[in-house]
């Protein structure tokens, strides 16, 4: 997932976050216990040690991540119940007692983490073999079909997993759609459990995990094919952040199980698709990072196969594609007075498309080359128009990485000169956006200098806004990790 998309998803994720580690910013301490931890150096040191131990364990044991985080949340609740810190000013006796309690609880947790069994290795050759098999099938399918970027049903217009699942004899299928609960309540859970064959019941821990997801979003229950493993999922917020709980059936009881790929960390769980499928007869858990709002055109898959009693080693694939540019009509959502349907704008559009292709290759080089082609007088005209456009736009967020074409949006575009039949136009080039959604397609606002009737000073006149669609042209690389 690129940094630009990640920043938008984190900002828009409306669901509450979960605990990743016990360390926190003392500048944001709110509860009495947090304030005491920050004020007492002896506890603050232990808190940092625990934070480091948690992060080390998460890095070393990715397969145990969800179970470990669940234990960490349980420990945090235990800490708060065991070491109660009154609000307001504390007496010396109260402070000393609370500090001693916290120190004991922290040391016990550090000892427990140190005694945990060795971690499993996430990226084994067995896991990578599954991804290499998928890449081979993907390349073979692409080679057998013609990819026309103008065709909405072109092979590369589909996510890789969806393309293979829709291709006969590919060996890849997607599990059926998950069951939906009418409401997230104990009554609905019990009814769902009674309707299973054979009937089952939820353990208190699993019931609590599911009900803790909340009741404001649609809840689905999905079973991994040919297994006794289930995942209960909610998609929350406008950024489509995923929250879930997992269980396995043991002797007719739903018991808590580690999630195969599902994470509850903001950003990691937003804007992705998670589901079960089958590759060559093996049940797999899939995380698909395909997004229509990724201007880089890249996508990614993470796969983990079911191995007897649980999900085994995982692997990931990063797909990179060459861009293909398609001449289309203006985007329907554009205002009528900004569409590129005037004779002047239509005449400029081929040059605008050439600029877009140059910007996609190298934004800074595209600007240097366009400016270098101007005469001294033309350069002055361009600089004047660029300043006027910046003044009209007001303060905008500069691109995070000026050398990255994905950093330029229609709200903070790259300004270039467009030279046509001896006249200089201002081209404001950025990815087309609707609200927080960022599309690979490009918007090119074309303007030229003119006169303002009110004060006779130089003013910008909009010629039109050209819409240049960018699609996947060819698979450049598929890297297995």
Bridge partners for 232 per DSSP: 221, 245
CB 141 within 8 A of CB 133: no
Residue-wise pLDDT tens for the chain (481 aa)? 444 444 434 333 333 333 333 455 677 777 888 888 888 888 888 888 888 888 887 777 665 666 677 778 778 888 888 888 888 888 888 888 888 888 888 888 888 888 776 655 444 566 788 999 999 999 999 999 898 888 888 999 999 999 999 999 999 999 998 889 888 889 999 999 999 999 999 999 999 999 988 877 889 999 999 999 999 988 887 778 888 889 999 999 999 988 776 555 544 577 888 999 999 999 999 999 888 888 999 999 999 999 877 888 888 999 999 999 988 765 555 566 668 888 999 999 999 999 999 999 999 999 999 999 999 999 999 999 999 998 888 877 778 789 999 999 998 999 999 999 999 999 999 999 988 889 999 999 999 986 544 444 458 998 999 999 999 999 999 999 8
Residue 264: Cβ within 10 Å count? 23
Domain boundaries, the chain: 3-114, 125-321, 328-475
Give the single-character DSSP code of 270: B
Nearest partner of 224 among 174, 169, 166, judged by Cα: 174
Residue 142 half-sphere exposure toward CB, CA atoms < 13 A: 22
Bridge partners for 433 per DSSP: 438
Q: For residues 17 and 451, give the distance between their C-alpha atoms in angstroms, rounded to a whole number.
A: 53
Q: For residues 109 and 236, give the distance between their C-alpha atoms in angstroms, rounded to a whole number.
A: 32
Whole-model pTM: value is: 0.70
Q: In the numeric block, which tokens belong to residue 325?
A: 């540019």
Q: Which helix (H) or strand (E) holds 418?
A: strand 414-420
CA distances 474 to 145, 270, 440, Å, are 12, 27, 15
């Amino acid at each position: 997932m690129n940094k630009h998309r990640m920043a938008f998803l984190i900002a828009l994720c409306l669901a509450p976050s979960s605990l990743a580690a016990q360390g926190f910013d003392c500048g944001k301490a709110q509860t009495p216990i947090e304030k005491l931890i920050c004020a007492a150096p002896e506890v603050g040191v232990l808190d940092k040690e625990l934070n480091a131990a948690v992060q080390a364990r998460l890095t070393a044991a990715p397969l145990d991540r969800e179970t470990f985080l669940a234990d960490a949340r349980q420990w945090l609740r235990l800490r708060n119940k065991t070491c109660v810190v009154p609000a307001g000013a504390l007496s010396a006796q109260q402070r000393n007692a609370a500090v001693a309690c916290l120190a004991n609880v922290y040391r016990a947790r550090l000892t427990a983490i140190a005694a945990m069994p060795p971690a499993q290795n996430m990226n084994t050759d067995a896991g990578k073999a599954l991804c290499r098999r998928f890449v081979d099938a993907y390349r073979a399918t692409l080679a057998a079909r013609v990819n026309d970027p103008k065709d909405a049903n072109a092979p590369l217009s589909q996510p890789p997993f969806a393309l293979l699942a829709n291709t006969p004899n590919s060996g890849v299928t997607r599990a059926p759609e998950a069951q939906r609960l009418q409401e997230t309540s104990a009554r609905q859970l019990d009814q769902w459990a009674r309707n299973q064959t054979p009937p089952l019941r939820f353990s208190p821990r699993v019931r609590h995990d599911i009900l803790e997801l909340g009741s404001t979003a649609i809840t689905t229950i999905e079973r991994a094919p040919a297994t006794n493993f289930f995942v209960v999922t909610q998609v929350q917020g406008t950024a489509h952040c995923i929250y879930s709980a997992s269980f396995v059936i043991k002797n007719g009881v739903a018991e808590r199980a580690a999630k195969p790929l599902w994470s509850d960390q903001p950003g990691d769980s937003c804007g992705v698709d998670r589901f079960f499928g089958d590759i060559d007869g093996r049940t797999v858990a899939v995380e698909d990072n395909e997004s229509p709002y990724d201007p880089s055109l890249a996508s990614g898959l993470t796969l983990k196969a079911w191995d007897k009693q649980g999900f085994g080693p995982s692997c990931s694939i990063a797909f990179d594609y060459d861009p293909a540019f398609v001449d289309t009509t203006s985007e329907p959502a554009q205002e009528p007075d900004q569409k590129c349907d005037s004779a002047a704008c239509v005449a400029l559009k081929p040059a605008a498309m050439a600029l877009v292709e140059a910007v996609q290759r190298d934004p800074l080089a595209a600007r240097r080359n366009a400016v270098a082609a101007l005469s001294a007088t033309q350069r002055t005209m361009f600089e004047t128009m660029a300043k006027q456009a910046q003044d009209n736009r007001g303060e905008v967020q500069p691109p995070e990485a000026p050398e990255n074409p994905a950093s330029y949006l229609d709200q903070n575009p790259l300004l270039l000169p467009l030279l046509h039949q001896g006249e200089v136009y201002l081209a404001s080039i950025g990815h087309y956006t609707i609200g927080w959604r960022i599309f690979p397609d490009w918007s090119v606002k074309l303007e030229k200098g003119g006169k303002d009737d009110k004060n006779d000073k130089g003013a910008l006149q909009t010629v039109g806004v050209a819409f240049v669609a960018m699609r996947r042209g060819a698979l450049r690389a598929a890297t297995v990790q």
